[in-house]
């Protein structure tokens, strides 16, 4: 039996996944139990041709996952700045090794495109069982800068899409807002319709009415012109007071548009693809997101 992961972001010379396996106590458990801790960044990959082709090219999945007879995914329940929610389906993105994850933020920057690629990866690495830890989840600016929230639930199913849909409903997020779930169901990879999911357990009594769901940054339809795009944006801003110049954002930006002027890091907002990797990976939560007035208005009108 093996247990493994690949963390978000790539910083030259800094192995985040190795650190995570150590800090989370996985290595220690592996030394005490008949299991092996595996770093998916360095354990080899299998390349699949993506049937959707085009700019989505190939799908790279960790060899350890591809070789496994049974795959169990163990997500946390969290909000997500780009995809609204992250759970069992998105957790499989951890099977894509290292910097390849950032590459797809670059080629598929909009929410529908990126969600489509998440579903491509999920389809190729589809887990046999999902067990979601929602005992303490994350609300607000997830997946990294939010706040812990006690939810007191564990949600499990052989259908990862159903796990995510039930989890969303538990915290007051309409699953239809989560594009990857909509696309996964459309491809017959799981069920998101709650009326067709049999829930065993105290679902109603665990429901939260005041969970702070992340307002999804409005994605930018391709047919809109540059003029409109310039009005409809949500940009990452570096809080220079909090920044410790660790340069994790600088090294992790998939299109390298963060520059160092010797005193501070600066983001070129004109070229930013709004993937929010920098926001997600900043260890000091020194990057916040600021929406343009039009984007704020759209979010209000959409009730998010």
Token digits of residue 138:
């994350």
CB of 243 to ligand SF4, least distance (A): 3
User: Which window, 7-15, 151-159, 161-169, 239-247, contacts ligand SF4 (CB under 6 A)?
Assistant: 239-247
The one among 244, 296, 298, 304 contacting ligand SF4 by CB under 6 A: 244
Asked whether position 65 contacts ligand SF4 by CB under 6 A, the answer is no
Residues in the chain: 304
Contact in structure between 183 and 110 (CB atoms under 8 Å): no
Residues 260-279 that bind ligand SF4 (CB under 6 A): 265, 267, 272-278
Size of the site for ligand SF4 (CB under 6 A): 26
CB of 299 to ligand SF4, least distance (A): 18
The one among 3, 64, 173, 248 contacting ligand SF4 by CB under 6 A: 248
Write out 15-26 in H/E/C secondary structure.
Answer: CHHHHHHHHCCH
The one among 71, 107, 129, 246 contacting ligand SF4 by CB under 6 A: 246
| CB closer to ligand SF4 out of 153 and 272 | 272
Contacts 24+ apart (CB under 8 A), 61-69: 61/95, 61/96, 61/121, 61/124, 61/125, 62/4, 62/6, 62/38, 62/95, 62/96, 62/97, 62/125, 64/2, 64/4, 64/38, 64/40, 65/4, 65/40, 65/95, 65/125, 66/125, 68/2
Which spans of this chain sit near ligand SF4 (rule: CB under 6 A)? 236, 238, 243-249, 253, 255, 257-258, 265, 267, 272-278, 282, 284, 286-287
């Amino acid at each position: 039996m093996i247990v493994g992961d690949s963390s978000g972001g790539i910083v030259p010379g800094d192995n985040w996944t190795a650190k995570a396996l150590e800090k989370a106590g996985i290595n220690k458990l592996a030394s005490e139990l008949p299991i092996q801790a595996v770093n998916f960044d360095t354990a080899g990959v299998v390349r699949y041709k993506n049937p959707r082709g085009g700019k989505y090219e190939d799908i790279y999945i960790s060899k350890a996952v591809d070789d496994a007879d049974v795959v169990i995914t163990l997500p946390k329940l969290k909000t997500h700045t780009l995809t609204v929610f992250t759970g069992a389906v998105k957790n499989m993105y951890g099977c894509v090794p290292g910097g390849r994850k950032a590459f797809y933020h670059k080629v598929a920057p909009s929410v529908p495109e990126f969600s489509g690629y998440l579903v491509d990866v999920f389809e190729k690495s589809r887990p046999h069982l999902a067990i979601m830890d929602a005992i303490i989840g994350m609300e607000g600016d997830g997946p990294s800068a939010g706040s812990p929230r006690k939810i007191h639930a564990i949600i499990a199913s052989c259908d990862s899409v159903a796990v995510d849909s039930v989890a969303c409903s538990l915290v007051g997020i309409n699953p239809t807002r989560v594009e990857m779930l909509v696309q996964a169901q459309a491809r017959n990879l799981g069920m998101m319709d709650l009326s067709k999911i049999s829930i065993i357990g105290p679902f109603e009594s665990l429901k939260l009415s005041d969970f702070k769901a992340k307002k999804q940054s409005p994605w930018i339809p391709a047919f809109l012109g540059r003029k409109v795009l310039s009005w409809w944006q949500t940009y990452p801003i570096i809080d220079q007071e909090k920044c410790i110049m660790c340069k994790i954002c600088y090294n992790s930006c998939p299109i390298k548009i963060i520059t160092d002027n010797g005193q501070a890091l600066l983001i070129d907002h004109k070229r930013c693809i709004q993937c929010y990797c920098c926001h997600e990976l900043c260890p000091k939560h020194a990057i916040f997101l600021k929406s343009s007035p039009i984007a704020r208005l759209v979010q209000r009108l959409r009730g998010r």
